[in-house]
């Protein structure tokens, strides 16, 4: 599971800032949170929101979407999704046997988390399993490389619709055997 943002203009944010066009800078952008199947790179779930924002609030709806579509054996996510309630949702409510989230230290000064699932991650973090998280990064990279990093739609509802159509297009391209 991971999230990415999309530009809403053809010119990148870097170019707009470097060129000094302050009136074109936007404070928010469309943000896509996905659940990706590591074996096929199919996008099992997609939640569209606004960025910049934390990733964790989109976790429940995205993981529920994915769990309705396929039986999940393991969930891999980065430290942005590390919260005891996310572990509990996966394991206790959705029946996913294994969750591997990078531990977010939270600058609390404690060495060991108090909650049981986060404590288990601290006790024995499965590094070899977590190293497969590159698959979702690769899927997002392919998505932006083939379909572009920007949206053409201007209003928020149409940006959301365009983002979801891009997810369907991504999956159709994979099923049709398109490779870059």
Domain containing residue 101: 2-158
Is 99 inside any structural domain? yes
Is 56 inside any structural domain? yes
Contact 115, 84 (CB under 8 A): yes
Is 172 inside any structural domain? no
90-116: average pLDDT: 79
- Computed over every residue of the chain, the mean pLDDT equals 85
Is 88 inside any structural domain? yes
Q: Map tokens 């989109």 to a residue.
A: 58
What residues contact residue 44 under an 8 Å CB cut-off, 6+ apart? Answer: 34, 35, 36, 37, 65, 66, 69, 70
What residues contact residue 11 under an 8 Å CB cut-off, 6+ apart? Answer: 19, 24
Q: How confident is the model at residue 25 (pLDDT cuts 50, 70, 90)?
A: low
Is the pLDDT confidence value at 179 over 70? no
Is the pLDDT confidence value at 104 over 80? no
Burial class (CB in 10 A: 0-12, 13-18, 19+), 87: buried
Is 52 inside any structural domain? yes
The CA distance from 34 to 63, in Å, is 9
How many distinct structural domains can be found in the chain? 1
pTM of the model: 0.82
Is 166 inside any structural domain? no
Structure tokens at 7: 């530009």
Is 67 inside any structural domain? yes
Is 69 inside any structural domain? yes
Q: What pLDDT, in 10s, does the model give residues 45-91?
A: 999 999 888 888 999 999 999 999 999 999 999 888 988 899 999 99
φ, ψ of residue 35 to 5 degrees: the values are -115, 120
């Amino acid at each position: 599971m991971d999230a990415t943002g999309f530009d809403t203009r053809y010119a990148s944010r870097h170019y707009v800032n470097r060129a000094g066009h302050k009136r074109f800078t936007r404070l928010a952008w469309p943000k896509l949170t996905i659940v990706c199947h590591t074996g096929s790179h199919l996008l099992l779930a997609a939640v569209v929101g606004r960025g910049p924002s934390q990733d964790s609030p989109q976790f429940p709806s995205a993981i529920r979407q994915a769990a309705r579509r396929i039986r999940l054996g393991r969930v891999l996510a980065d430290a942005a999704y590390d919260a005891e309630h996310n572990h509990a949702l996966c394991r206790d409510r959705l029946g996913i046997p294994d969750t591997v989230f990078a531990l977010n230290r939270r600058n609390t000064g404690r060495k060991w988390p108090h909650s049981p699932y986060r404590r288990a991650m601290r006790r024995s973090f499965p590094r070899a399993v977590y190293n497969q998280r590159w698959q979702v990064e690769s899927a997002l990279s392919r998505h932006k490389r083939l379909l572009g990093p920007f949206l053409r739609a201007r209003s928020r509802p149409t940006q959301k619709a365009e983002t979801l159509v891009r997810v369907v297009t991504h999956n159709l391209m994979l099923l049709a055997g398109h490779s870059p």
